[in-house]
Homo-oligomer: A and B are copies of this chain.
Amino acid sequence: MAVTIKDVAKIANVAPSTVSRVIANSPRISEKTKEKVREVMHQLGYHPNFIARSLASQSTQAIGLIMPSSTDIVFQNPFFPIVLGGLSEGAQAKQYVLHMTTGKTDHEIYEGVVSMIQGGRVDGMILLSSKVEDKVLSYLHEQDFPFVVIGKPFKDTESITHVDNDNFKAAREVTNYLISLGHEKIGFIGGDLNLVVTVDRLLGYEKALEEAGIPLTSEYIIHNQFLREGGREAVQILLSSGAMPTALVVADDLMALGVLNALDEVGISVPEDLSIVSFNNVMIAEMAKPPLTSVDINIFNLGFEAAKSLIQKIENPNEPAKRIIIPYEIVERLSCSEPKAKKGSTP
């Protein structure tokens, strides 16, 4: 059996409570006994038992996270490991650990969250992608359990702490960028409309067109999974509709890669025939041929700040909800140019 606080107390000739106070570095203990107790702790190789501490203090120093199932879209996207990195570093900075489970179905995930929380395993939760109707979110909200969502909650935006990019603005900005290059036939390929992020980006895209006086073309707007296959299919839909835009706003790099592949196969070249801007700026954006102009949404910081503000919320339960906006940056590469028709005409 491991050495406990009692063992230390006995050898140091003090009471267990004194040892506990030394651990907590209580100011009401004399430097002399502190020294003595620390000496013994060291000598015995004492390590505090987190479980017992958690039980007594009703806090675990752990934050919960439900991983999407490995078959899931979210998981296959490089987005995931990067937020995870940010989360764990943000947690680590405040001496918190990450506590993870997986769930295959929505129901499994829900049950996982409930047992994590009711079981007292974690002090707070991180919610990854928020859907339009999110049972988990509603649950946490009504339980008044500390949580923060990465992305934008569909409703109650004001009362839920979340960290997000200004996706609306970003989408408007990249669309304007394409417009400024001379494009008018601009399409949008986004993910599941149940995901709030898709909605935001779509709205930004629409807003930009509207402001430029360009009418929306419904054939130009396609939704699919945030995956490479989603991008491929989107191109096929576009092709079969007969109406091909000259530029595309794609809501995810992986999708954009699928788009690139599909275009390559049918001999449409980027950026000569078609310009593309995408979102996230993960490694593949740089690797693609041609390298993609992409919106760097600073994924790592999304995670880092989420962890930070969750811990803040855990330790100050009465603070009001916050919205944290992580800045984005458009990284120009080689996937955009002026539309073909205009090309010769400008000079």
User: Which A residues are closer than 8 A to B by beta carbons?
Assistant: 2, 45, 47-52, 54-55, 60, 62, 67, 69-70, 75-76, 78, 80-82, 84-86, 88-89, 91-92, 97-103, 114-115, 118-121, 228, 257, 261, 283-284, 287, 289, 300
Inter-subunit contact B85/A75 (CB<8 Å): yes
Q: Lowest 4 A-B CB distances belong to which pairs?
A: A70-B85, A47-B118, A50-B119, A98-B100
Inter-subunit contact A97/B99 (CB<8 Å): yes
Q: Max chain B CB contacts within 10 Å: which of A91, A98, A228?
A: A98
Please name all residues of chain B whose beta carbon is closer than 8 Å to the beta carbon of A67 when the two chains form the complex.
Answer: 84-85, 88
Please name all residues of chain B whose beta carbon is closer than 8 Å to the beta carbon of A99 when the two chains form the complex.
Answer: 62, 97-100
Inter-subunit contact B120/A50 (CB<8 Å): yes
Of chain B, the residue at the smallest CB distance from A67 is: B88
Inter-subunit contact B85/A97 (CB<8 Å): no
Inter-subunit contact A2/B120 (CB<8 Å): yes
* Main DSSP-derived SS at the A contact region: helix
Bound-state Cα–Cα, A92 to B105, Å = 13
25 contacts between A and B (CB under 8 A): A2-B118, A47-B115, A47-B118, A50-B121, A51-B54, A69-B89, A70-B86, A70-B89, A78-B78, A78-B81, A88-B101, A88-B102, A89-B102, A92-B102, A98-B98, A98-B100, A98-B101, A99-B99, A99-B100, A228-B287, A257-B287, A261-B287, A284-B284, A284-B287, A287-B287
Please name all residues of chain B whose beta carbon is closer than 8 Å to the beta carbon of A228 when the two chains form the complex.
Answer: 283, 287
Please name all residues of chain B whose beta carbon is closer than 8 Å to the beta carbon of A84 when the two chains form the complex.
Answer: 67, 81
Please name all residues of chain B whose beta carbon is closer than 8 Å to the beta carbon of A89 when the two chains form the complex.
Answer: 69-70, 102
Contact among B51, B81, B100, B300 with A80 in the assembled complex (CB-CB below 8 Å): B81
Task: Tell me how many chains of this kind the complex includes.
Answer: 2
Bound-state Cα–Cα, A182 to B192, Å = 49
Bound-state Cα–Cα, A97 to B113, Å = 12
The smallest beta-carbon distance between A41 and chain B, in angstroms, is 12
Inter-subunit contact B51/A120 (CB<8 Å): yes
Please name all residues of chain B whose beta carbon is closer than 8 Å to the beta carbon of A86 when the two chains form the complex.
Answer: 70
Please name all residues of chain B whose beta carbon is closer than 8 Å to the beta carbon of A115 when the two chains form the complex.
Answer: 47
Please name all residues of chain B whose beta carbon is closer than 8 Å to the beta carbon of A78 when the two chains form the complex.
Answer: 78, 81
Bound-state Cα–Cα, A283 to B261, Å = 14
Please name all residues of chain B whose beta carbon is closer than 8 Å to the beta carbon of A118 when the two chains form the complex.
Answer: 2, 45, 47
Bound-state Cα–Cα, A47 to B145, Å = 16
Bound-state Cα–Cα, A102 to B47, Å = 19
Bound-state Cα–Cα, A86 to B102, Å = 10
Please name all residues of chain B whose beta carbon is closer than 8 Å to the beta carbon of A114 when the two chains form the complex.
Answer: 47
Additional 18 contacts, C-beta under 8 A, given A55-B55, A100-B100: A2-B118, A49-B120, A50-B120, A51-B60, A51-B119, A70-B85, A70-B300, A75-B85, A80-B81, A81-B81, A81-B84, A97-B101, A98-B98, A98-B101, A99-B100, A228-B283, A257-B287, A284-B284
Please name all residues of chain B whose beta carbon is closer than 8 Å to the beta carbon of A82 when the two chains form the complex.
Answer: 70
The smallest beta-carbon distance between A150 and chain B, in angstroms, is 16
